[in-house]
Amino acid sequence: MAHIFAVFLALSTFSAGVIWCIHRVKIVQYRCRINRKGQRKGIQTIRGREKDGWIENIASVFPVLLIVFIVRSFIFEPFHIPSGSMIPTLLIGDFILVEKYAYGLRDPITNTILVNTGNPQRGDIVVFQYPKNRRQDYIKRVIGLPGDRVDYNPITKTLSILSSCDNHQNCNSSIPVIYSNVRKYNQILTGFSSNTSDNMLDKSLLNDSSLEESHVGICNETIGHVSHNIVLSDWEQSNLRSIYQGSEAVTRSWLVPDNMYFVMGDNRDNSSDSRIWGFVSEDHLIGKAVVIWMSMDKQEGKWPTGLTFSRTGIIQ
């Protein structure tokens, strides 16, 4: 839907721009004609008649469309969070702004890089076109950069990252990954906290069907100098369990190719990400999620029941 809207906005802006140019040319022609006749009163008459026309109405919308097109295509674009794969950082019903120029100024239709302005870093939360269907937009956290080797143990649910690798064996350095501050939920049946943000988090966990009747914990994960919270479920309740059947005790490894990125959801055991469908190509990137500007109390697939601005702020 977002891509259809981008095409519609581009066509609408272009069409309005053409009509605006035609309108301006007609005004200049009228002025020249009346000036030649020396009938200054006629100018006012013609101007008044033009303002009532449909061309004048469409032309007047062009500056607004142009501003919206520039801002949405190259600066910021709004998105909403429809699922719980990024809990606890982003909750179902959050509305975010994505910085479009963070990873290059791109053609709004083809997503081709026009001007390179930067690359994703470990810990960035990125919006990208789903590799298996570019019409869908996904949001995940960048874990591995080009040349990294990412190891993930599905039992201990821990990561290890080696950088500057030319193959799975030869890597130059290790990126420290630290887990701390574990907060446990017992079947998510405890009462909600008095803090509004924690209250929404508790409700999101409670309303996430993938976590029903499970034991979960929230802990802090630090990758290098970037810290964020993640949700971990019991192995028996993990939606990813079927993927690791037959190799449950085996650590999985991925070597990130050039111009590719390894991404994961913060809801680690209930996220469809690079562990399942592979890497994200650089030309699939849309931008960096930077701000929550509004949040709704909402369950996945249902209508919102409330509105809050308490979660507004910079995304960590």
Which are the catalytic amino acids? Answer: 85, 140
- Same domain? For 242 and 304 the reply is yes
85: containing domain: 81-314
For range 9-36, the mean pLDDT: 79
- Residue 250's pLDDT is 74
- Residue 196's pLDDT is 45
- Same domain? For 124 and 50 the reply is no
- Same domain? For 18 and 158 the reply is no
How far is 266 from 231, CA to CA, in rounded Å? Answer: 6
Q: Residue 304 sits in a domain of what CATH number?
A: 2.10.109.10
- Residue 214's pLDDT is 52
Among the three residues 75, 108, 130, which one is the final residue of a domain in this structure? 75
The count of domains in the chain is 2
Give percent of the chain above pLDDT 70.
75
For range 137-159, the mean pLDDT: 93
pLDDT at 302 over 70: no
- Residue 86's pLDDT is 94
Among the three residues 75, 91, 125, which one is the final residue of a domain in this structure? 75
- Same domain? For 62 and 89 the reply is no
- Same domain? For 159 and 203 the reply is yes
* Better-predicted residue by pLDDT, 39 or 175: 175
- Same domain? For 64 and 142 the reply is no
- Same domain? For 109 and 51 the reply is no
Confidence grade of residue 205 (pLDDT, cut at 50, 70, 90): low
pLDDT at 150 over 50: yes
| Residue range 253-271, pLDDT digits in tens | 999 999 999 999 999 988 9
- Same domain? For 102 and 223 the reply is yes
Residues 6 or more apart whose Cβ sits within 8 Å of residue 177: 158, 159, 160, 161, 221, 222, 223
Of the listed ranges 12-26, 167-181, 294-308, the least confidently predicted one is 294-308
Residues 6 or more apart whose Cβ sits within 8 Å of residue 78: 95, 96, 97, 98, 293
pLDDT at 119 over 70: yes
- Same domain? For 196 and 280 the reply is yes
Among the three residues 40, 75, 110, which one is the final residue of a domain in this structure? 75
Q: Which ranges of the chain does DSSP label H, i.e. alpha helix?
A: 2-37, 40-51, 54-70, 196-207, 274-277
- Same domain? For 280 and 307 the reply is yes
pLDDT at 98 over 50: yes
- Same domain? For 96 and 125 the reply is yes
- Same domain? For 217 and 302 the reply is yes
Highest mean pLDDT among 22-31, 84-93, 254-263, 301-310: 254-263
pLDDT at 166 over 90: no
